[in-house]
Amino acid sequence: MPPEAPVPFRRGAKIPQVRVLVATVGSRGDVQPYIALAQGLNSAGHEAVLCTAQHFASFVKGYGVAYAPMSNGFVDMMTSPAGSQAIEAGVIGRWATIKPLFTLIRQAPSFLRQMQEDIWQAALQCRPDAIVFHPKCIGARSIAEKLGILAVVASPTPLVVPTGEFAAIGLPELRLGSAVNRLSYRLVDAGYRGFHRVTNAFRRESLGLPPVAHGEEGAEAPQVLHAYSQHLWPRPKDWPDTAHVTGFWFAEPQDWSPDERLVRFLDAGEPPVYVGFGSIAGTNRRQLAQVVVEALRTANVRGVVATGWGGMEFDNVPSSVLVIDEAPHDWLFPQVSAVVHHGGAGSTAAGLRFGKPTVTCPFMLDQPRWGQRVYTLGVGAKPIPRRKLTARKLADAVQWASHDERVRARAEELGERLRSEGGVLEAVAIIEHLLNE
């Protein structure tokens, strides 16, 4: 089983109210944990403003968090034909993604420059004492440098800080030793440095700062908050003191009322299996939907299927399956028997938080690693990569996850551990400590 809960960060003296700019970019799974952090900062008596894509403006405001606008460049890029092709290529295999990824990389500089300007304008508006940002928010550290404020990286995965214990997320686990594992992080860093010219132009033209030779990291190691639980992924022993693992960041429930159709379906029989792939679908959305429906039928279980941002396309859905756009995980997951998803950090955390056996169908990036952690801990099925997904394989996994008493017991025990953590409180305490130094 996972390790015992880590000793909570010791709170120092209470600090006066501060303003914190929280910046993130990506899919819904890259936004919701940062909403939770902003809520936690507000509850501690501070002022938090969340800067992210306008696509999520109403989503952020629905949680009672102050919002600062960012362009939809990343969302538009990932939902473009090139973005869908990159996802679909990842289904075929790792190397097939190279060509479509290069297409996306060529599109990225204009989006990144606009993102940097948007975060800068948000900072000018709220005049923060600290900026906490997703690793994809390139340029945020330069903004902190210009304002002379604290900069904290907030990562939902163990990607930012090198370790010899495992390879960088998104790269193959070759199991060739600690030296090769550490080398993999240099490859990730090289990817970030590919946008070095964009950041230096931003530094020079918008911030009036001199260029830097090797990205914006400089010599000083950043403080990094990892928004996941050591119960799933123990903290590497070779990490520096600047790397913190806080526990998952779960938002306080929003004021949300379910559709009457969903309520009636949940009340009409045994708890269903949840299936949803978030913003991930690729180009063959109809085929994926057919696999899901056939798997649920073969497993003889009821299902609630969320089309999500990825937009699976369904035809001829049986009465045992209800298709919805989306529903808050914290409302829906306590009422299901098991969860099936792509293995993103947010979906993985949400399902296990409520003690639900999990089936992952990883598409790309960090998803295979989260799926493997679920399987290693005995709280879910062995991951079924999207490129190998069939109705028969998914049906077998769903049936096992729904009915095996051992996996259910282990999932429930892990859920209790996760619910006992205070990841947001831990993160807020660390931020306050750093501001108090």
323 and 347 both lie in a single domain:
yes
**Those residues with Cβ within 8 angstroms of residue 82's Cβ, 6 or more apart along the chain or in another chain:** 100, 103, 104, 107
Query: How confident is the model at residue 309, as a pLDDT?
Result: 65
Range of the domain at 64: 19-248+421-436
Say if residue 222 is in the same domain as residue 273: no
* Residue 2 falls inside a structural domain: no
- Other C-beta atoms closer than 10 Å to the C-beta of 395 total 19
Nearest to 292 by CA among 280, 306, 278, 309: 306
Same domain? For 28 and 130 the reply is yes
Phi, then psi, of 80 in degrees rounded to 5? -75, 165
When divided into structural domains, the chain yields a total of 2
Domain membership of residue 297 (yes or no) is yes
| Cα distances (angstroms) measured from residue 407 to each of 1, 350, 398 | 12, 17, 12
> Is 14 inside a domain boundary?
no
**430 and 414 in a common domain:** no
Residue 248's pLDDT is what?
A: 96
63 and 120, same domain (yes or no): yes
Instruction: Note down pLDDT in tens along the chain; length 437 residues.
Output: 444 444 455 555 567 899 999 999 988 888 999 999 999 999 999 999 999 999 999 999 999 999 999 999 887 776 666 565 555 544 444 444 444 454 555 567 778 899 999 999 999 999 999 999 999 898 999 999 999 999 999 999 998 899 999 988 877 777 788 999 998 888 877 777 778 888 999 999 999 999 887 655 443 568 999 999 999 999 999 999 999 999 999 999 877 889 999 999 999 999 999 999 876 655 577 888 999 999 999 999 999 999 876 567 888 899 999 999 889 999 999 999 999 999 999 899 999 999 999 999 998 778 899 999 999 999 999 999 988 999 999 999 999 988 899 999 999 999 999 999 999 999 999 999 999 87
Do residue 64 and residue 178 come from a single domain?
yes
Give the pLDDT score at 96: 45
In a domain, 132, yes or no: yes
- Verify that 95 and 217 share a domain, yes or no: yes
What is residue 172's predicted lDDT score, i.e. its pLDDT? 74
Does residue 357 sit in the same domain as residue 296? yes
Q: 164 with 32, same domain?
A: yes
Among 149, 137, 329, 152, residue whose Cα is nearest residue 227: 152
Q: Would you say 191 and 184 are in contact if contact means Cβ atoms under 8 Å apart?
A: no
Q: CA end-to-end span of the chain, whole Å?
A: 37
In a domain? residue 11: no
In a domain, 8, yes or no: no
**Residues 270, 164 share a domain:** no
Provide the CATH number for the domain around residue 388: 3.40.50.2000
Please indicate, yes or no, whether residues 282 and 349 belong to a single structural domain of this protein.
yes
pLDDT at 204: 94
pLDDT at res. 219:
38
Beta pairing, strands 66-70 & 47-53: parallel
pLDDT at position 86, please?
57
322 falls within a domain: yes
Q: Same structural domain for residues 202 and 348?
A: no
**Amino acid, res. 219:** A
Phi-psi group of 378: left, alpha or beta (phi > 0 → left; psi -120 to 50 → alpha; rest → beta):
left
Q: What is the pLDDT of residue 431?
A: 96
4 found inside a domain:
no
